[in-house]
Structure 1
Amino acid sequence: MTTREFDSIVIGTGPAGEGAAMKLAKAGQRVAVIEAHNAVGGGCTHWGTIPSKALRHSIQMLADYRRNPLFQHTQHQIEAEFPDLLRAADGVINEQVRTRYRYYQRNRVEVVFGRARFLGDDRIEVQRPGSVTEELRADHIVIATGSRPYHPPDVDFTHPRIRDSDSVLGLRHTPRSMTIYGAGVIGCEYASIMGALDVKVNLVDTRDRLLSFLDDEITDALGYHLRQQGVVIRHNETYERVEADEGGVVLHCKSGKKFKTDILLWANGRTGNTHDLGLETIGLAPNQRGQLEVNKSYQTTLPHIYAVGDVVGQPALASASYDQGRFVGAHIADGACDWSLIEEFPTGIYTVPEISSVGRTERELTARQIPYEVAQADFKSIARAQITGHTVGMLKLLFHRETLEILGIHCFGEQAAEIVHIGQAIMSQRGEANSIRYFTETTFNYPTMAEAYRVAALNGLNRLF
């Protein structure tokens, strides 16, 4: 068997793998990327971010139509099933695949479809479709294989009524009821999506509050709006067993509670895709969640082998994974990297309405005894929100009482994931440039949602005097 030589090999074409491959190619390296799926893009494009967010967008459009008084006489004529709404994502996925494949072609990165397995610390065997194998060798290897939903061994995921966040996209009907086990980001997003489709939803949370890493006021608002959609939220519950038959599926909890619904969506944790990679051949051992330990430069215990993205655990965000890949690409190409990844990265949660935040929460600032003040703007008072009818939500800025430095930005409402970046740009500045006064001393287009920053800043500064 002939071994093909490359400077670097990247395993996986999700955001992390793409970021690394593009950076290495720009540096003049000969790069190969290996993709186990039959199309590039990784789980982000095919099973995670893109399809779920496209689904959410379709449901939001449907809700806007039903709420608009102009169409009250035709509202009853619109019936949309879950698969119909999901089908709108197909075009987005296909376009994303075409776009990303063009990136690889344009930068002369060779895409090899097949399953990768280590033969040595510099050699990879690729099992290609049709039982054809080939061998690749490189001085540096980047593992960017992503993650998959965690499957407890005692839960039968082959049963059609038991789904995870990947297989739920294969539903061929809108269920009448659904229990979601796990109230993290994925669980809350699907509870919001299904609630908007008038599905009876039980959201079973293993913790004492929703999304505890977020600002308390934001998560309280999320809980309120989920309940308004008919979602029943149960905190501090742990599953004992799952029982499924043709009539439904029952989630038995250790508290004695039972939840019987048409579908169970398991949304409790993810596992790194390190199985069958042959890591034992090179002496790398994943942790119990299939994740690889890395240093601050994303190197494994073998310095020429890197790991990035979901396969190394938190933050497990597409945006952060892409930056990690670019960082590693620079580190390999130059032997070091003179820029560091940001510590305060934004979080976007695509519930209905959206949530986005960056920086510290009130809870964290209080614990650190940092004197802060709150600047807040309710969307109901913003002209653009009144025009669009999306008046639910708020923008909340936390700033230092003495220096006026912005310490945290928290947004709940339509376009929250977009709005947060305006504040992030100012918060990332050093010294006096990071000041809440920026928003009172600049001009915002009117009417815009961005105007909420001016309203919030004026509100906050007024609280100081």
Structure 2
Amino acid sequence: MRYELIVIGSGPAGRRAAIQAAKLGKSTLVIENRYRVGGVSVHTGTIPSKTLRETVLNLTGWRERGFYGRAYRVKKDIEGKDLNARLQMTLDHEIDVLEHQFTRNGVRTMEGTARFRGPHEIEVTGPKGEVQLVEGEKILIAVGTMPFRPTSIPFNGTNILDSDDLITEPAIPRSLTVIGAGVIGIEYATIFSALDVPVTLIEPRDTFLDFVDREIIDDFVHQLRDRGMAIRLGAKLDRVEIDAKGWAVSILEDGRRIRSEMLLYAAGRIGATAALQLDRCGLEADSRGRLKVDPASLQTSVPHIYAAGDVIGFPSLASTSMEQGRIAACHAFGAPMPPAPAYFPYGIYAVPEISTVGLTEQEVRDRRIPYECGIARFRETSRGHIMGTQSGMMKMIFALESRKLLGVHIIGESATELIHIGQAVLNLGGTIDYFVENTFNYPTLAEAYKIAALDAWNRMPRCDDHMQSALELALPELQRIAVEGPRAA
């Protein structure tokens, strides 16, 4: 069976590439090793973790505690089955939508494990052991990643888990240790903390989430410690043991021992490329199973083979993976592609949410751009009062000379929704004047944009100062025109 495009993996990158190719009139096959499409994003990653977060916030009454106190609960005794019920409903809906999209666009799907037989040939082993050989003019590798599982950690699928185990059978422990303060570790640590589970977060580095503005992280850490989470930075894990009662004991290199009923190991992920037999098509993955591509086209070193999504590494976001898949399909078949935007947003679905777009304050300083910052607290907005919000902030950074927006950084309720206003203005080259002069719906959290902009504007040079500077710069030219006459102009 021959196809113009074969996509290995049906996650965000794979699905977008397949549908884009189909819309270009190309015969397309998607190979998925699970019995249902969706990839890591739908089955164990983005959708399940965000569904779990929303379920916890609803059942605990988290959003209402500003009014009714920390003891407020919607459901008193929350169990693992409460978390799993909503999870299954959401996943079934997502998969149904995706299957419908494939059918509507004429994308064929095949269940099985794919491995290369040659540069264009792929062998697919089905669930019953049957083998089929397919051939692709172009091939996209979008297999995603899997949790990194070092042999030194005694994973048992019961109380010493990776992130896949955790979402497969949700349970609520009496205490939890999370190893790794990356995005996944932070999200799960804060979700269980919202359930009032005592959580200890262990990270070997002295900092975490380094791509986020430090002022936002400082506020985030304060909130986490204020609600009782133990954060151990600069703490390297030596080993994990199981004590006589079956609890996990994390032993640090400095001798400290942290005991908890459950342990989540979330220190890194690796590309799911081991089974592909890449050597048969001329490719080689790095030590973490990732593939190197040209960032503009998503081509690998083998021109007809592309790779997109988490398997190529940072930023490993579902949103960017979708765009990578679309770009790969367009490039493969010579379709015109608009230039990629200069900035795209990051969203961290912790409790509280964090979202950021553009330059951080440190990046602005490193580039030696004269700048000013503006801060807005959500409690300063009327909507914040209505919601009972006690925390949350927005930080905006503007260039002094051009007055252009350089970055927006948000922590708090709806941060991942609010960020898109800043994203639009940033990519369109907008200035502080947009936020000062335009009207925002009232009452909304989006008013924080105007508050933060005015906060920065109050400390920026006034218009008359700008005019004076402009006149000083133009004075030599004006003097030359006056001497040489009108023709010099």
TM-score bucket (shorter structure):
over 0.9
Match of 1:457 in 2: 453
Q: Is contact 1:147–1:270 with CA below 8 Å preserved after alignment?
A: yes
Report 1:257-276 matches (<5 A).
Answer: 257-276=256-275
Change (3 A) 1:15 1:72: closer
1:84 counterpart (82, 86, 98): 82
Return closer, same or farther for 1:64/1:240 CA change in 2, 3 Å cut-off.
closer
How far 1:161 moved relative to its partner?
2.0
C-alpha distance in 1 between matches for 2:20 and 2:74: 52
Structure 2 unmatched ranges of 5 or more:
462-489
The amino acid across from 2:435 in the alignment is F
For the aligned residues, what is the CA RMSD?
Answer: 1.8
Query: 1:395, CA displacement in angstroms?
Result: 1.0
1:24 partnered with 2:21 = yes
Equivalent position of 1:143 in the other structure: 141
Q: Per the alignment, do residues 172 and 369 of structure 1 end up closer, same or farther by CA in structure 2, a change over 3 Å counting?
A: closer
Q: Do the aligned partners of residues 207 and 452 (structure 1) sit closer, same or farther apart at CA in structure 2, a change above 3 Å counting?
A: same
Contact 2:41–2:47 (CA under 8 A) maintained in structure 1? yes
Equivalent-residue separation in structure 2 for 1:295 and 1:212 (angstroms): 25
In the TM superposition, residue 448 of structure 1 has moved relative to its aligned partner by 1.1
Q: Is the 8 A contact 1:63 1:196 kept in 2?
A: no
Displacement of 1:76 in angstroms is 8.3
CA distance in structure 1 between the partners assigned to 2:135 and 2:362 by the alignment: 50
| 2:122 aligned with 1:124 | yes
Q: Which residue of 1 aligns with 2:479?
A: none
Q: Are the structure 2 counterparts of residues 317 and 378 from structure 1 closer, same or farther at C-alpha, using a change threshold of 3 Å? A: same
CA–CA distance in 2 between the matches of 1:276 and 1:286? 12
State the Cα deviation string for residues 259-312 of structure 1 (Å, max 9, x = none).
Answer: 111111011111000011121212211100000111131111110011100111
Q: Distance in 1 between matches of 2:395 and 2:361?
A: 11
Over 3 Å counting, the alpha-carbon distance change for 1:176 and 1:60 in structure 2 is same
Matched residue of 2:276: which SS?
coil
Provide the TM-score with structure 2 as the length reference.
0.90
Residue-by-residue CA offset, 1:140-172 (whole Å, 9 max, x unaligned): 000000001111122222352211111112345
Amino acid at match of 2:132: E
Aligned positions of 1:394-413 closer than 5 A: 394-413=393-412
Residue 358 of structure 2 corresponds to which residue in structure 1? 359
1:118-154 per-residue CA deviation (whole Å, 9 max, x = no partner) reads 1111111111121111111111000000001111122
Q: Which amino acid aligns with 2:328?
A: V
The code of the aligned residue for 2:214 comes to D
Q: Within 5 Å, give how 1:209-358 maps onto structure 2.
A: 209-245=207-243, 246-296=245-295, 297-334=297-334, 337-358=336-357
State whether residues 28 and 107 of structure 2, in contact with CA within 8 Å, keep that contact through their aligned partners in structure 1: yes
Does residue 46 of structure 2 align to residue 45 of structure 1?
no
1:11 paired with 2:8, answer yes
1:156 matched residue in structure 2: 154
CA distances 1:365-405 after superposition (whole Å, capped 9, x unpaired): 11221111011111001111111122411111000012111
Hey, what's the Cα distance between the residues in 1 that align with 2:107 and 2:377? 48
Does structure 2 conserve the Cα–Cα contact (< 8 Å) formed by 1:65 and 1:71?
no
Alpha-carbon distance change, 455 to 88 in structure 1, aligned in 2, over 3 angstroms: same
CA spacing shift, 1:371–1:82, aligned 2, 3 Å:
farther
Change (3 A) 1:145 1:160: same
Question: For residues 189 and 70 of structure 1, do their structure 2 counterparts lie closer, same or farther at Cα, with a shift above 3 Å needed?
Answer: closer
Shift of residue 257, structure 1, vs aligned partner? 1.8
> 8 Å contact 1:327–1:337 — kept in the other structure?
no
Q: Secondary structure at the match of 2:167?
A: helix
For residues 191 and 72 of structure 1, do their structure 2 counterparts lie closer, same or farther at Cα, with a shift above 3 Å needed? closer
Mapped contact 2:309–2:324 kept (Cα < 8 A) = yes
SS at match of 1:38: coil
**Residue correspondences, number:** 458
Where do 5+ consecutive residues of structure 1 fail to align?
none
Is the CA contact 1:177–1:262 (under 8 Å) kept in the aligned structure 2? yes
Going from structure 1 to structure 2, the CA distance change for 1:403 and 1:304 (only over 3 Å counts) comes to same
Deviation beyond 3 Å, 4+ runs, structure 1: 68-77, 170-173
Q: Distance in 2 between matches of 1:165 and 1:174?
A: 14
2:432 pairs with 1:436: yes
What TM-score does the superposition give when structure 1 sets the normalisation length?
A: 0.95
Tell me, yes or no, if structure 1 residue 60 matches structure 2 residue 60. Answer: no
Query: Do the aligned residues in 2 keep the contact of 1:191 with 1:226 (CA within 8 Å)?
Result: no
Distance 1:372 1:280 in 2: 50
Please name the residue that 1:205 is paired with.
Answer: 203
Is the Cα–Cα contact under 8 Å of residues 215 and 362 in structure 1 kept in the other structure?
yes
- Which letter does structure 2 place at the counterpart of 1:290? G
Q: Which amino acid aligns with 1:453?
A: Y
For 1:210-262, what per-residue CA distance to the aligned partner results, in whole angstroms no more than 9, with x for missing partners?
A: 31221111101111111122110011122111112552111122222221111
Percent identical: 42
1:408 Cα offset (Å): 0.6
Deviation at 1:72, TM superposition (A): 10
CA change 1:247–1:66 in 2 (3 A) is farther
**Which 10-residue stretch deviates more, 156-165 or 101-110?**
156-165
The range that moved more, 244-253 or 13-22, is 244-253
Correspondence for 1:186:
184
Q: CA deviation at 1:70?
A: 7.3
Residues 72/342 of structure 1: CA separation in 2 closer, same or farther (3 Å cut): closer
Are 2:342 and 2:427, in contact at CA under 8 Å, matched by a contact in 1? no
Distance 2:359 2:72 in 1: 46
Q: State the Cα deviation string for residues 333-388 of structure 1 (Å, max 9, x = none).
A: 21x65423334221101111110001111111112211110111110011111111
SS at match of 1:219: helix
